Chain A
Amino acid sequence: MLAFLARRLAAAVLLLFVISFLSFLLLSLAQVDVARQLLGLQASASAVAHENAALGLDRPLLARYADWLGSAVRGNLGTSWFTGQDVAQTIGQRLPVTLSLVLATTVVTAIASLALGLWAGTRRGVADRIVQILGVAGYALPGFLVTLLIVVVFGVDLKWFPATGYIPITRSFTGWLSTITLPTLALSLGAVAGLSQQVRSAVAAVAAQDYVRTLRARGLSGRSVVLKHVLRGACAPALTVLGLQFVGLLGGAVVVEDIFALPGIGAMTVADTSDGDVPVIMALVMVSVIGVVLINLAVDLLIGLLNPKARLT
C-alpha cells in the first residue's frame, strides 16, 4: 500500500514537473511584450527594458523557470504582472467557490447516476429506454447551451433561484444553497448522462455474473443482492468514469462560473488570462492539474478499497 502510494506520488510529481515546464516554455515563446503592455505605447525603449529587467524577463528561460519552480514548491506563486496581487492569495480566495461547486456536482452526479443506472440495469424495459434517452440528450447538447436553458427556465422565467451571484457557505448555508443549486444542476446534467450509462452497463454485467445467481440460490432476496453485491461490483468501473469526467468538469466549471457570475477559479481563468499574465496562468494550470491528479489518486484508492484484487498492485 505504501509502495503504491509512493509510486503514484512520484508519477504525479513527474507529471506536474513536465506540465509546468512545457507550460512555462510555451508561455515564454509567446511574442507578448508584457512591459510594453504595462507601460503603454508612449513608454521609452529604456523604460521598457528596465521594466523587463524588473520582471526578470531579461534572464535566460531556464533560470526563470528554476526561479519559478523554486518559489512554487515553497507555496509562493509570485505576483500578477498586471494587478500586482499575490497569486496564491487570489487563488486561495477563489478556490473554495470552485471546490464547493465541483464537490456538490460530484456528489449529485454520483448519487443520481447510481440510482438511474441501477434502475435501468435491473429493471430494463421502460427504465432502460428513459436512461438511454437522457444519455443521448445529455451528450448531444453542448454543456453551455444546457446551462443557458437552465438559467432561462429556472432563473429568469420561474425565478426559483437567483440567476447570478454567489453567497459563501460560511456566511449563509441557505444562501449558498440557493446560489449553488442551478450551477450544480447545469454541471451535473451532462455528467449524469454519461455516468448513468456506464453504471447501467456495469450493473447489467454484474447482475449476469454466476455469483449473483449463487447468492440468490442461497435464499437472499434480489434486492439485497443488488444493493450489496451488484452495486459493489459496479462501483469500480463507475468510479473510473467519474474520475475521467472530472477533467471535463473543470472545463465545464469555467463556462458555468462565467454564466452564473460565480467568483471562482473558472471565471478567473476567463477574465485574467487574456493578457499573458504568466504567473497567473501558470498557477491556474498547476491548480487544475493538481486537482486532476488528486482525483485520479482518490479514485484508485477507492477502487482498491472496493475490489480486493486491485489492492495488490
Chain B
Amino acid sequence: MRAPSPRSPLRAVLRNPLGAGSAAVLLLVLAAVLLAPVLRPGGAQSSNILDAYDGAAAGHPFGFDGAGRDELAMLLYGGRATLGEAGLALLIALILGLPLGLCAGYFAGRFDAVGSWAVNLVMALPGMVVLLAARAVLGPTTVVLMVVLGVLIAPSFFRLARGVAADLRGELFIDAARVAGLPAWRILTRHVLVAVRAPVLIQASLVAGVAIGMQAALGFLGISTGVSAPSWGGMLSDAYTSIYTHPILMLWPGLALGLTTAALLLLAVALRDALEDRPGQASARRTRRPEPVRVVPTPAAAAGPARAAARSPLLSIRGLTVAYAGPQGAEREVVHGVDLDVRPGEVLGLVGESGSGKTQTALSVLGLLPLGGRITGGSVLIDGAETVGADERALRRLRGGVVGYVPQEPMSNLDPCFTIGSQLAEPLRAVLGLGRREAAARVLDLLRAVEIADPARVARSYPHEISGGMAQRVLIAGAVSCEPRLLVADEPTTALDVSVQAEILDLLRRLQQDQNLGLLLVTHNLGVVADLCDRVAVMRAGAIVETGEARQILHAPEHEHTRALLDAVLDDAPVRAPWQARPTRSVA
C-alpha cells in the first residue's frame, strides 16, 4: 500500500511524451512569467496610444493592445497575476483540505461526520455566485477572493485524503504501528501522508488547472484584479470589447491560458499513468477487442478416436480453440482443441478444476465469450449448423430457441432494475413473437414449471426481493422459456446452499427428461456427475483428458487426473471444498 518512491515515477512521467511535453510547456510558461522583470524591465504599463492595435514590430513580437501597451509585457505580467493567484488558491485548498481529510478518514466517528457535512455544504454552493457575493462583501481584494476560492475547492482534497486514510485505517501495517505505540500524528505523517502523496499530486495538477480557469474567469468579469494590474482574464476582457475590429488580440491570452490549463491536465494524466497504474492495469487498459478475424471452421481432420466418431446432430464440437488477448496484442490460448458431442436427450458432464477451460468451452457454444476472448479455430455444430465464424444474426437465431443457458451465480444474472416477469417475457416476445398478454401468461406457466409456488408474486418481484434458490429457478425458467433442445448449464448449483442444490438438480433432471433435452452440464462436483450425467468429459488445462460413460469414469477412470479428482472426493479431505456455498444475498 505504500506509495512507490517518487524518483522512478518522475522518470516515468518524463519518458511519457505527453508528460514530458506538458512539463516542458509548464516550465516554459513558469520561467517566462518569473523572468518577466528581466525580459520586460519596463513593466506592462508603459503605453503609447499611437501604437494602439499595431501589429508585431521590432522588439514587440506580439504587437500592441487597444491602449497601445506591449502585448508580450502584458502577457508576462498578466501571467504572474493569474498563475500566482491560482497558486495561492491551490495552497489554501491543500492546507485546509488535506489535513482535515486525513483526520476525518483516520479518526472517523464524529470528526468525520462533521467534516463531511461541512464539505457537502460547501459543495452545494455555486462557486461563482459565492465568489461574486464575497467580492461584494469583502471588496475586490484579489488575495481575499483567492482565499475564498481555495475554501471552495478544498473539498476535492478533503474527499480524496479522507478516502485514502479511511482505506488505510484497516491495513495491517497501520495496526502494527498503532500497537507499537506510535502516536496518531506520527502515523498520519509517517504512513498515511506517504500513501496519499501520489493521488494528491495528481489532484493538485487537475485543481491547479481549474483554479487558473476560475481566476481568469474572475478577471474576465472584471472582478479579481484591479483595472491597473494586467491578468490573462483581464486581457481577454479587453480584447472582447474590440472583438469585431481586432479579434487577433484574443489569440495570445487565450493561447496562454488554454496551453497552461491543458498542460496541467495532461500532466495529471501522465502522473496518473506513472503513479497509479500497476503493470497489469496498464496493459488491461490498453487491451482492445481483437480485430474480428473471420475464423474458418476446421472440421474433423486430425487424428484421435473422438474425431473419427460420427458427429452428434444436436451439439458437436471438434478441435475448438479459444484465446484471450494479452498485453501487446499477443493472444493466450486457454482452450486447446476440445472435442465434445451431446446427443438429444443426453446429459454430458464437463468436469475439471477451476481454470481448466470448462466455462470457456460452454460459452463458446453460445458464442458469448467475454470481452477479449474469441474462438480461434475448430468447429461447433449446433443442430447441424456451423456456428464458428457465423455472424451475430445466425447465432442469435440459435440462442434461446435451440440452445438455452443456465448461469452459475443466480443473483448477478438477473437485471436488478427489472421485474422477474418482464425479464422473462422479453425473450418470449422477441424470439417467439408472443404478444404482451400471451407472454405474461406464459411467464406464469414457466414459473409454475420450475416449481415456484406463487408465480404471480414472483413475476411482480424484483431480483433483490427473492432468495438465491428462487433466482436459480427463475434462471432455469428463462433458459427453457423458448423451448430449446440443448441446455448449457455452467455450474448451476455451485452458488447455492447444499439443501437447495439437491432441489435444483432434481428440477434440472425432471425438465431434461420431460422435454428430452440435451444437457451440457459444466461442474467440478463429481457428486452432481454421479447424480445426473450419462457421459462425462474430464478437462484439464484447456484440453479433454478423458471421455466416457459416467459409470466407467466414476468406477474405472483411465486417466490419472480423473483418478486424482475422484481421490480428492473419496479421501473425505477435498483439496478444495466442492460445496462452498456462498451466502445468498437476500432471502425473501
Contact = CB atoms under 8 A, between A and B. Distances in A.
Contacts of A273: 132-133, 135-136
Interface stretch (B61-69, B296-304, B401-409, B435-443): B401-409
B416 A309 contact: yes
A116 B126 CA distance: 27
Contacts of A144: 213, 216-217, 220, 233, 236
B400 interface: yes
B478 interface: yes
A156 to B, nearest CB: 6
Contact of A210 (B129, B213, B236, B407): B407
Interface stretch (A59-67, A165-173, A215-223): A215-223
A215 B423 contact: yes
A302 interface: no
B282 to A, nearest CB: 16
B560 interface: no
A307 B417 contact: yes
Contacts of B415: 209, 211, 215, 229, 232-233
A27 B233 CA distance: 27
Given A142-B216, A309-B462, A219 B136 contact: no
Interface stretch (B343-351, B424-432, B449-457): B424-432
A47 interface: no
Contacts of B363: 213
B258 interface: yes
B289 A218 contact: no
Contact of B392 (A23, A222, A269, A288): A222
Interface residues of A, number: 75
Interface stretch (B2-10, B260-268, B500-508, B522-530): B260-268
Contacts of B288: 124-125
Contacts of A3: none
A139 interface: yes
A307 B249 CA distance: 52
Nearest to A206: B415
Interface in A270-285: 270, 273-277, 281, 284-285
Contacts of A213: 363, 368, 370, 407, 413
B417 A269 contact: no
Nearest to A232: B417
B89 to A, nearest CB: 14
Interface stretch (B240-248, B307-315, B376-384, B572-580): B240-248
A16 B400 CA distance: 55
Interface stretch (B106-114, B117-125, B551-559): B117-125
A102 B134 CA distance: 24
Contacts of A211: 412-415
Contact of A15 (B124, B132, B257, B414): B124
A292 B129 CA distance: 12
A218 B407 contact: no
A284 B217 contact: no
A281 B133 contact: yes
Contacts of A158: none
A289 B288 CA distance: 44
A224 interface: yes
Given A273-B136, A281-B136, A250 B427 contact: no
A136 B409 contact: no
Given A152-B247, A156-B247, A143 B430 contact: no
A219 B401 contact: yes
B317 to A, nearest CB: 17
A219 B431 contact: yes
A246 B423 CA distance: 34
B430 A142 contact: no
A153 to B, nearest CB: 10
Interface majority SS (helix, strand, loop, mixed), chain B: helix
Interface in B173-213: 209, 212-213
Interface stretch (A48-56, A68-76, A107-115, A253-261): A253-261
A214 interface: yes
A93 to B, nearest CB: 18
Contacts of A137: 262
B409 A210 contact: yes
Nearest to A137: B262
A130 to B, nearest CB: 14
Contact of A307 (B128, B258, B416): B416
Contact of A251 (B126, B244, B247, B261): B126
B137 interface: yes
A200 to B, nearest CB: 13
A298 interface: no
A149 interface: yes
B26 interface: no
Interface string B516-544: 00000000000000000000000000000
B133 A285 contact: yes
Contacts of B94: none
A99 to B, nearest CB: 15
A142 B231 CA distance: 15
A208 interface: yes
A247 interface: yes
B399 interface: yes
Interface in B25-47: none
A100 B236 CA distance: 27
B475 interface: yes
Nearest to A251: B128
Interface string B347-366: 00000000000000001001
Interface in A136-151: 136-137, 139-145, 148-149, 151
B128 A145 contact: no
A218 B481 contact: yes
B371 interface: yes
B145 to A, nearest CB: 13
Contacts of B478: 214, 218
A124 B261 CA distance: 27
A292 B266 CA distance: 31
Given A15-B124, A208-B370, A255-B220, A141 B261 contact: yes
Given A19-B125, A144-B216, A308 B464 contact: yes
Given A145-B254, A218-B479, A152 B368 contact: no
Contact of B240 (A15, A148, A210): A148
Interface of B: 121, 123-130, 132-138, 209, 212-214, 216-217, 220-221, 223, 233, 236, 240, 243-244, 247, 250, 254, 257-258, 261-262, 264-266, 269, 288-289, 363, 366, 368, 370-371, 392, 396-397, 399-401, 403-405, 407, 409, 412-418, 423, 426-427, 430-431, 462, 464, 475, 478-479, 481-482
20 contacts: A15-B121, A30-B138, A140-B261, A142-B214, A145-B236, A209-B412, A210-B412, A211-B412, A213-B368, A215-B423, A218-B481, A219-B397, A219-B400, A233-B416, A244-B123, A269-B128, A277-B136, A281-B133, A288-B129, A296-B124
Given A232-B418, A284-B133, 13 more contacts: A27-B133, A32-B137, A141-B213, A144-B213, A151-B243, A211-B414, A216-B399, A217-B399, A219-B427, A220-B430, A232-B417, A288-B125, A306-B417
Shortest 9 CB-CB distances between A and B: which pairs? A219-B400, A142-B213, A251-B128, A217-B405, A218-B427, A30-B137, A250-B126, A140-B262, A140-B265
